[in-house]
Amino acid sequence: MGLFSFFKKRDKAELPPLRFHNTLSGNLDVFEPLSRSQVSMYNCGPTVYDEQHIGNLKAYIFADTLRRVLNLWGYKVRQVINITDVGHLVSDADEGEDKMEASAKKQGLRAQDIAERVTDLFFKDLDQVGIDRSKIQFPRATKFIAEQIALVKALWEKGYAYQIDDGIYFDTAKFKEYGKLGHIDLEHLKEGARVEENMQKKSPHDFALWKFSKKGEKRQQEWKSPWGKGFPGWHIECTAMIFKLLGKQIDIHTGGIDHIPVHHNNEIAQAEAITGKQYVRYWMHGAFITIEGKKISKSLGNTVYLRNIIDRGYSARALRYLFLTAHYRTPMNFTWEAMEGASQALSRLSRTFLELPQGGSVPEQFKKELYAALSNDLDTPSAIARVWEFTKDTTVSPAGKRAGILLADRVLGLGLSDARPSATIKVVEKSDLPEEVQTLMEEREAARKAKEFEKADELRKKIEGAGYEIKDLPERSEVVKK
Ligand code: AMP
Ligand code: ZN
């Protein structure tokens, strides 16, 4: 046995069993993947008709943290995040227009171009919050049309599908366990259904597998199928890509809690109707965030994007820190005060880390407590609290602290190992600044303190126009020459 494998083995023995809250069982289940060394994981991805907001980003930060934990526990992870570029209707339950087509019509653009632009923005956001895209597959729904048609055909042949005027539907009455995920009260769901119900459907829960293009209407995105020209339903896309890229049975499937009642129950129904075996072993769902106490909504105009966070001088990693201070299943209310607090905390942690010398090893006690928090359904708030106590522990050597913080950061993804001492930033002394820039800086500081962020943003642009760049630190802002 080589030295490396010896250590690897020893390390693994110290790791407690992972427990995750499984929406399917409703319990905290011990995680036992299908294969000993490899985990397959699928995360429902963005519908790329419009830019993803920070609520959406929270879903991927959760998935990434989960991936990092699995890696730390020694598993290789095959991870897929789909890009929905067709078929997601305005209502998740097959009513209304296709979000992509509607957005294209409104903007007078090609759906494909919108999808590409939004996907690029999405990728940039992922990079900034510390998600390593090179390890993830990002299939696009429009590139898997043949696979989706093949699944609809299989369901048709097995007697699970029927045709009505506007498409091919899944017959939920034929799948006895329909609604098992999250123990959905189907009667209640029916009552809550929208008024414009499709009266031809055998049951309000039946969902579209394939929708026909409307007669006389030319869609931008449509394909031929054995039943007629049209496009795939949203739910079938995830199953088709999972079957193709990860297999007929996978370990973990994640999404936001909004996906439990309809989308994920539909995925289970169509997949298990085809294979006759369990589709996903562990279903994990992240809670929603609200913004300043309100649901994120375009019409309320309260949507916050990552670029807004950056514009206000905060780092993407500070947003990640903020999200990780709440458990992934606890709803969180985003406020700018909380963002400020997270930014200050992360700067403090970063500075503490940078002052510590290299060459230590992680104290066993800290390792044990960190692992205990993470194995307990990914308890990141406890892990962060433990890191803070650890930094203040006078019985631990400075080098040991550095090693411990780095270990925690392998999972938290706060980018501490990339943090550089601020000495490498060429800070311009105030007295060396042109008077005009000095005044702008002071005005901007005052605006920031008064929380007049728009004004502060305008002043930042002016300062940048004069050839200087601002680094916002928790207690003050510094200027560097561009
Ligand atoms: P969508 O692009 O709407 O399909 O959503 C992408 C992901 O973001 C899904 O996993 C959603 O469940 C999740 N999501 C949407 N809104 C929020 C929110 N306010 N907070 C947390 N997650 C959200
Ligand atoms: Zn999905």
pLDDT recorded at residue 429: 64
Average pLDDT over residues 109-134: 94
81 CA distance to ligand 2 centroid (A)? 9
The CB-side HSE value for 136 (13 A sphere, CA atoms) comes to 24
| Ligand 1 nearest atom to the CA of residue 258, by list position | 12
CA distances from 473 to 50, 217, 427 (A): 32, 55, 12
437-482, pLDDT tens digit by residue? 888 888 887 887 777 878 888 888 888 888 887 766 544 566 666 6
| Nearest partner of 253 among 34, 80, 47, 119, judged by Cα | 80
Q: Residue 89: CB within 6 Å of ligand 1?
A: no
Q: Residue 289: CB within 6 Å of ligand 1?
A: yes
Cα–Cα distance measured from residue 16 to residue 32, given in angstroms and rounded to the nearest whole number: 12
For atom 6 of ligand 1, the residue with the nearest CA is: 46
pLDDT recorded at residue 97: 78
361-376, pLDDT tens digit by residue? 999 999 999 999 999 9
15 CA distance to ligand 1 centroid (A)? 32
Q: Residue 44: CB within 6 Å of ligand 1?
A: yes
55 CA distance to ligand 1 centroid (A)? 6
Give the ligand whose atoms come closest to the C-alpha of residue 255.
1
- Provide the total of helices (H) and of strands (E) in the chain, helices listed first: 16, 15
Is a pLDDT exceeding 80 seen at residue 55? yes
b/e burial code for range 364-399 (CB count within 10 A of at least 16 → b): eebbebbbebbbbbbbbebbbebbeebbeeeebeee
pLDDT recorded at residue 195: 45
Task: Check residues 335 and 217 and name the one with the higher pLDDT.
Answer: 335
Average pLDDT over residues 426-439: 72
Is a pLDDT exceeding 70 seen at residue 413? yes
Q: Residue 186: CB within 6 Å of ligand 1?
A: no
Give the ligand whose atoms come closest to the C-alpha of residue 141.
2
44 CA distance to ligand 2 centroid (A)? 4
**What does the radius of gyration of the chain's CA atoms come to, in whole angstroms?**
25
| Nearest partner of 318 among 447, 134, 470, 474, judged by Cα | 474
Task: Check residues 433 and 481 and name the one with the higher pLDDT.
Answer: 433
Residues 314 and 343: beta-carbon distance below 8 Å: yes
Q: Which of 51, 56, 114, 298 to probe ligand 1 with, by most ligand atoms within 8 A of CB?
A: 56
For atom 19 of ligand 1, the residue with the nearest CA is: 55
| Ligand 1 nearest atom to the CA of residue 295, by list position | 19
For atom 12 of ligand 1, the residue with the nearest CA is: 256
- Rounded to an integer, what is the distance from CA 444 to the centroid of its chain? 33
| Ligand 1 nearest atom to the CA of residue 45, by list position | 6
Give the ligand whose atoms come closest to the C-alpha of residue 258.
1
Please give the mean pLDDT across all residues of the chain.
89
386-396, pLDDT tens digit by residue? 999 999 999 99
Cβ-proximal residues to 449 (8 Å cutoff; 6+ apart), any chain: none
- Structure token digits, residue 175: 């799948």
pLDDT recorded at residue 425: 36
Is a pLDDT exceeding 90 seen at residue 136? yes
401 CA distance to ligand 1 centroid (A)? 36
Q: Residue 232: CB within 6 Å of ligand 1?
A: no
Average pLDDT over residues 16-30: 98
**Cβ-based burial of 88 (10 A; exposed 0-12, middle 13-18, buried ≥19):** buried
Q: What is the DSSP string of 92-136?
A: TTS-S-BHHHHHHHHHTS-HHHHHHHHHHHHHHHHHHTT--GGGE
89 CA distance to ligand 2 centroid (A)? 13
Is a pLDDT exceeding 70 seen at residue 328? yes
83 CA distance to ligand 2 centroid (A)? 9
Q: Residue 296: CB within 6 Å of ligand 1?
A: yes
pLDDT recorded at residue 421: 55
Sequence letter at residue 291:
I
- Structure token digits, residue 182: 């999250």
pLDDT recorded at residue 430: 66
Give the ligand whose atoms come closest to the C-alpha of residue 294.
1
Return the SS3 of 164. strand
Cα–Cα distance measured from residue 479 to residue 427, given in angstroms and rounded to the nearest whole number: 6
Residues 69 and 377: beta-carbon distance below 8 Å: no
User: Phi and psi at residue 49, in whole multiples of 5°?
Assistant: -90, -20
Residues 186 and 171: beta-carbon distance below 8 Å: no
| Nearest partner of 93 among 311, 259, 272, judged by Cα | 259
Residues 52 and 46: beta-carbon distance below 8 Å: yes
Return the SS3 of 26. coil
93 CA distance to ligand 1 centroid (A)? 16
Angle formed at CA 46 by CA 325 and CA 88, multiple of 5 degrees? 135
Residues 179 and 262: beta-carbon distance below 8 Å: no
pLDDT recorded at residue 8: 47
Give the ligand whose atoms come closest to the C-alpha of residue 139.
2
CA distances from 165 to 98, 174, 449 (A): 17, 20, 60
Give the ligand whose atoms come closest to the C-alpha of residue 46.
1
**Which region, left, alpha or beta, applies to residue 439 given φ > 0 means left and ψ of -120 to 50 means alpha?**
alpha
| Ligand 1 nearest atom to the CA of residue 255, by list position | 10
Give the best-scoring range by mean pLDDT among 92-96, 101-105, 167-171. Answer: 167-171
Average pLDDT over residues 154-165: 97
Map tokens 């963002």 to a residue: 339
Question: What does the CA dihedral 396, 402, 405, 406 come to, rounded to 10 degrees?
Answer: -140
467 CA distance to ligand 2 centroid (A)? 46
234 CA distance to ligand 2 centroid (A)? 8
Count of all residues that appear for the chain in the document: 482
Is a pLDDT exceeding 70 seen at residue 18? yes
Map tokens 């950061």 to a residue: 409
249 CA distance to ligand 1 centroid (A)? 24
| Ligand 1 nearest atom to the CA of residue 48, by list position | 2
The band of 255, judged by pLDDT with boundaries at 50, 70 and 90, is very high
Q: Residue 288: CB within 6 Å of ligand 1?
A: yes
